[in-house]
Structures are given as structure tokens and as C-alpha cells.
Amino acid sequence: AGPEMKRLYDVLPAARRGEWRETAAELAADAATLAGPGDIIMVKGSNGSKASLVAKALAALGE
């Protein structure tokens, strides 16, 4: 999520791209449609990027 990651998303080959959203909140809101059974997902980010929103949304899917 965010403008810095958009640059990476844009240069990756389509087969290597994941998902990109403008904000972590948008990514968290879409977590249920982006993650599937058996997926392994690593969330990396800082407190400033609000990556914890994404991690919490993904964790809630398993509850």
C-alpha cells in the first residue's frame, strides 16, 4: 500500500504482482477477497504505514 509500493508494483512483471492499494486501510478492507485458503502472506511495514491494520484484518479471517 502507498505511493512508494506503487512504484514497485508498476515495474514487477504481471505474474509477480500481488495487490496494491493507496492506503493500508483500503488493503485491510479488501483482505477477505484477497486472501484464500492455504495462502501464506507476509505483512511488512512500519507503524507509520499502518501495516498493522492489514495484519489484524488477515488475522481476523482465521477466527
Condensed to tens digits (0 to 9), the pLDDT of residues 3-61 reads 888 999 999 999 998 889 999 999 999 988 988 888 888 888 888 889 999 999 999 98
pLDDT at 7: 93
End-to-end CA distance of the chain: 24
CA–CA dist 54, 63 (Å, integer): 15
- What's the domain count of the chain? 1
Q: Per-residue pLDDT for 63 more than 90?
A: no
Which parts of 1-63 fold into alpha helices (H)?
Answer: 3-11, 24-29, 31-34, 51-61
Quote the domain boundaries for residue 54: 3-61
Residue 19 is predicted with a pLDDT of: 87
Say what the pLDDT of residue 62 is.
80
